[in-house]
Each structure stands twice: as C-alpha cells, then as structure tokens.
Structure 1
Amino acid sequence: MSGRRIPPGRAGRLRVRRQLDTALRGAGVLERKLMFLLDRERVLREAEEAAARLWSSRLREAETWLVRGMLLSGEAALAPGAAAGRATVTFAYTTAMGVRHPSGVTCAPAVRSPDDPPPRNTALTQAEAAYRDLVEAAAEYAAAHEASRLVAAEVRRTRQRVRALRHHWIPRLGGELAAAEQSLEQAEHEESVRRQWASAPTGATGARPSSI
C-alpha cells in the first residue's frame, strides 16, 4: 500500500471504508454501462455491416451502367453529361451513455443544370441515377461506421476502467481497510491493557494484567 498516507485510528478506517464503498458503487455503475454499450455496439455493428453490403451492391450497379454507357458512346460522353453542383449530406446525432454518435443521415443529390445536355444513351441515364443512389448509400455507411467506431472506443475505455477498479483499486482498498482494522484493534487492545495496569493494585505481591 505504498504511496498513500492513511490517518491513524478510526478516522483512517472510516476514510478507507468510504473510498472502498465508492469504488464498489462506481464499478457497479460502470459494469451496467458496459452491458448497455456492448448491446449498443452489437446493434451498430450489424447496421454497419448491412450498410457496407448496400454500398458495395450499389457501387457494382453504378459501375456496370457506367461501363455500358461508355461502350455505347465512348469516354467523351461523360463530360457533357456531368451533373452540376454537389450532393449535400447532413448527419443527425444522438447521445447514448455519454457517447455522441451519428444516428441518421439525409442526402440531397446533385441536381443537373437545365442547360446541361442529357446523357447520350439510356445506360448513362441509368448510371447517373445509380451514382445518386451510391452517394446516399456511401453516406449511410459512413454514418454507421462512425457510430460503431465511437461506441466501440467507449466500450474499450469503460472495460479498462472496470478492470482497473476490480483488479487494482478495490483489492488495494480492501487490503488497506483490513490493515486499518487490524491496527485499530491492536491499538484498542493495547489501550485496554494500559488501563488495566493503571487501575490494578500496586502492592508488592499484586499481580499485573497480562498483555498477552
């Protein structure tokens, strides 16, 4: 128990007991938080995996239509058919057990300018629509991935704190409390012996109380 100075007597015992009670309550709270976070992490991980599958599927679809369109009209067909502007992605956030993470996403696709010529063939029209869907799927995957990552990080931190309490701090306080109680018991015993000696007869043949 090096490095900690504990007041002697009942004050020291009371101090350590309070610290131990606080540590035990804290460990209980953190363990309940950990159980909640583990369940939340599982749900978010499943959502992330589903979003990844959707993103991958839409990517393949968009690339397939793009290749078909280029085979029909050549690479030069891409430039005049480009949509003006950019897609706008807005993330919604929530907080669970102190962890702020994305909870949803809204995606506004890029809008083609009225002055732009339409795609040169049907395949490129399909590719344009597929890439709009792909942007939305990518945004959903990004939100799901970030939410899963943030909650997983909090799971690791919470588990480390529980481990520190259960395997280090609580055993240490338990040992300090046992030592404080033993020291207090010894001091009270010695005080009792001294009082017996002080109150015993002092005659030549008077027997003294034993401290054993």
Structure 2
Amino acid sequence: MTSVARTPPSRAGRLRLRHSLDVALRGADLLEQKLRILRIRHQLLREAEQTCAGRWHDQARQAETWLLRAVVLGGEQALATAAAGAGIADITVHETSTVGLRHPSGASCTVPDRAPASAAPGNTALVHAEAAYREAVRAAAEYAAAQAAARIVGAELLSTRQRVRALRRHWIPRLETALVRVGLALEQSEHEDAVRRRWAARQAAERGTTRG
C-alpha cells in the first residue's frame, strides 16, 4: 500500500492507479466466482463425507459383532489361525480437480482372497466376520478419501473468502481513494498551470502594447 500512497499526481500515476484498480476489480470478480463454485462443491463433499462416515461406522459395528461371536464360539486361537491367512488390502485414491484445485474424488480398495494354503475359518461366525471386515476396510478407504476432499476444498474456500474480503474491504477502497486523491491533485496542478499560462500571456500582451 506504501507505493499506492506515494503515487505522484501525474497522468502516468493516474493511469497506473486505474490499471491497478481494474486488475483488482477483475480479480475480485473472478475470486467471487471461484468462491461460489467452491461453496457448492464443499457442501456436496461434506454430505458425501457424512454418508461415508455413516457407512463406515455401520460396517465396523457389524464386523465387531461377528468377531465377538467368532471368539465366543472358537476362542482367540481360532481367530489367530484365521487371521494368519488374511492378505493386505491395496488402496488406490482417485483424484479430480475443482477450479484448478486437486483433491480426492474417491478410493478403490482391493482385498486379496485368502491364501490357498491357509487354514479355513474355524466357524461360520469367522467367515461372516472376515467378509464384514472386508467391507469395513473398503468403507474406511472411501470415508478417508471423502474426508480429505472436504478438508482440502474447505481450506481453499476459507483462503479464497479471505482474499475476496481483503480485496473488497481494503485494497480496492485504498486504490479508489488514491485515484481520487491523485485526480484532484492533478486537476489542481493543471488548473494552476493554466492560470500561470494565462498570466504569462497577459504579461506578454501588456509588454507588447506598452512598446507599441
């Protein structure tokens, strides 16, 4: 803002201020357009996050219920034997872009089948528990992606809102004030120059008449 306050009262200075003001106004308009898009997108992502969270909690509760039944029926040894044959899940996070901002659009989770050489689950409850935990892992991956997307877009929404506020409430008014100040000073300077020129012309005319 120091450079704006020190802008000299000249035509070039006024042009620079007008250009800066035009740029600031266009920038604010573009940021407000971005803000509207981000606001809508963030709302959708928050809703998706809540849906994914609910699904994950439901799947986790079902899995825990079957796990408790399995332990009651077969004991912890049966659980350890069944867990030895479980594979490691592979999770891929997919991305998309909203007004140039990259964020997750979802996640896919692949849970490998039980190793052929591993022991089969010792009871039916363990079979159901294994299937339920597979779904819980998939739901957890989707929830994590939805949560990250909402967080990233939410942070950009906040940053954009702050930038618009800074432009509309501070920078643009200061440029407008500086432009008015420079315009008035330039007008006064030009008026004084015109007065001096008229005075000089009268003086020259009077000297010419006296000599004649």
TM-score of the two chains, using structure 2 as the length reference: 0.92
| 1:188 paired to 2:190 | yes
Unaligned runs of 5+ in 2: none
User: What is the 5 A alignment of 1:66-77?
Assistant: 66-77=67-78
Q: Which residue of 2 aligns with 1:128?
A: 130
1:64 and 1:105 map into 2 onto residues whose CA distance is: 26
Instruction: Identify the match of residue 159 of structure 2 among 157, 160, 171.
Output: 157
Q: Which residue of 2 aligns with 1:62?
A: 63
The number of equivalent residue pairs is: 205
2:48 and 2:190 map into 1 onto residues whose CA distance is: 63
1:71 and 1:13 map into 2 onto residues whose CA distance is: 84
After superposition, give the CA deviation of every residue in 1:146-193 in whole Å (9 maximum; x if it has no partner): 000000000011011101101111011001100010011001100110
| 1:80 paired to 2:81 | yes
| 1:49 paired to 2:56 | no
Q: Which residue of 1 aligns with 2:26?
A: 25
Q: Greater relative contact order (Cα 8 A, min sep 6): structure 1 or 2?
A: 2
Q: Secondary structure at the match of 2:81?
A: coil
Corresponding letter in the other structure for 2:45: L
1:130 and 1:41 map into 2 onto residues whose CA distance is: 31
Q: Counting helix residues as a fraction of each chain, which structure ranks higher?
A: 2
- The share of aligned pairs that are identical, in percent, is 54
2:95 and 2:206 map into 1 onto residues whose CA distance is: 87
Corresponding letter in the other structure for 1:33: K
1:187 and 1:144 map into 2 onto residues whose CA distance is: 62
Q: Secondary structure at the match of 2:166?
A: helix
Q: Which residue of 2 aligns with 1:102?
A: 104
1:146 and 1:84 map into 2 onto residues whose CA distance is: 28
After superposition, give the CA deviation of every residue in 1:30-70 in whole Å (9 maximum; x if it has no partner): 00000000000000000000000000000000000000111
Q: Is the 8 A contact 2:9 2:183 kept in 1?
A: no
CA RMSD of aligned residues (A): 1.6
Q: Which residue of 2 aligns with 1:209?
A: none
Q: Secondary structure at the match of 1:118?
A: coil
Corresponding letter in the other structure for 1:62: A
Q: Secondary structure at the match of 1:105?
A: strand
1:81 and 1:92 map into 2 onto residues whose CA distance is: 32
Corresponding letter in the other structure for 2:76: E
Corresponding letter in the other structure for 1:192: A
1:126 and 1:24 map into 2 onto residues whose CA distance is: 61
Corresponding letter in the other structure for 1:64: T
Q: Which residue of 2 aligns with 1:10?
A: 11
